[in-house]
């Protein structure tokens, strides 16, 4: 299996992931977090949820994905420090806690993928141009392609807290 060469791509935007004291994604018990946390488990008001028999943690889909493949590195938990690279073809989250700056997760940009470049099958193409990270959510800003039917900016959020991806666009 060939791996994606994220280092030699033209990078459009970058952002850092830094564990902060006021970030409930990294400190769920102390800050009353509700949702999935960086450790990949679900919390309600800072208390880790348990399910099953015997009771065990409830894990996010991103934590339980097959590790060490073309789209995932070898760690399930979200990195405590990271670098996110955005190109016209992919978004790559790198784990800065490893000396090799290893890949944690890779998102390809394509129709019907989490980072879509045409969200409704019509002539509504978008090109990524910006990146932001805060409290377990990565947001990718897109600008409409020339001639697209919708001429407003689009934001796709990869929400690790809610274990979902959603988009916001004005129509």
Q: Express each pLDDT in 132-164 by its tens digit.
A: 999 999 999 998 888 777 788 889 999 999 999
In this prediction the pTM is: 0.89
Bridge partners of residue 142, in order along the sequence: 128, 154
Pairing of strands 90-95, 81-87: antiparallel
Q: Where are the alpha helices (DSSP H) in 1-89?
A: 28-31, 61-64
Confidence class for position 127, pLDDT limits 50, 70, 90: confident
Average pLDDT of the chain, as a whole number = 89
List of E strands, 38-162: 42-44, 47-48, 50-51, 56-57, 81-87, 90-95, 103-108, 126-134, 137-144, 154-159
What are 139's strand-pairing partners?
132, 157
Check pLDDT > 80 for residue 47: yes
* Structure confidence at residue 121 (pLDDT): 59
In the chain, what percentage of residues exceed pLDDT 90? 63
Q: In the predicted model, is pLDDT for residue 1 greater than 50? A: no
- pLDDT reading at 36 higher than 70: yes
């Amino acid at each position: 299996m060939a791996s994606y060469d994220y280092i030699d791509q033209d990078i459009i935007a970058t952002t850092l992931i830094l564990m902060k004291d006021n970030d409930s994604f990294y400190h769920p018990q102390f800050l009353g977090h509700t949702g999935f946390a960086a450790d990949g488990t679900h919390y309600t008001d800072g208390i880790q949820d348990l399910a099953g028999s015997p009771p065990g943690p409830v894990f996010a889909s991103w934590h339980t994905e097959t590790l060490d493949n073309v789209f995932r590195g070898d760690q399930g938990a979200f990195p405590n420090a990271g670098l996110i690279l955005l190109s016209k073809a992919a978004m790559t989250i790198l784990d800065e806690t490893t000396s090799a700056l290893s890949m944690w997760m890779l998102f390809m940009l394509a129709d019907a993928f989490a980072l879509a470049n045409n969200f409704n099958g019509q002539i509504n193409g978008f090109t990524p141009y910006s990146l932001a990270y805060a409290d377990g959510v990565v947001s990718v800003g897109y600008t409409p392609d020339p001639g697209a039917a919708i001429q407003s900016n689009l934001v796709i959020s990869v929400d690790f807290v809610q274990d979902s991806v959603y988009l916001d666009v004005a129509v």
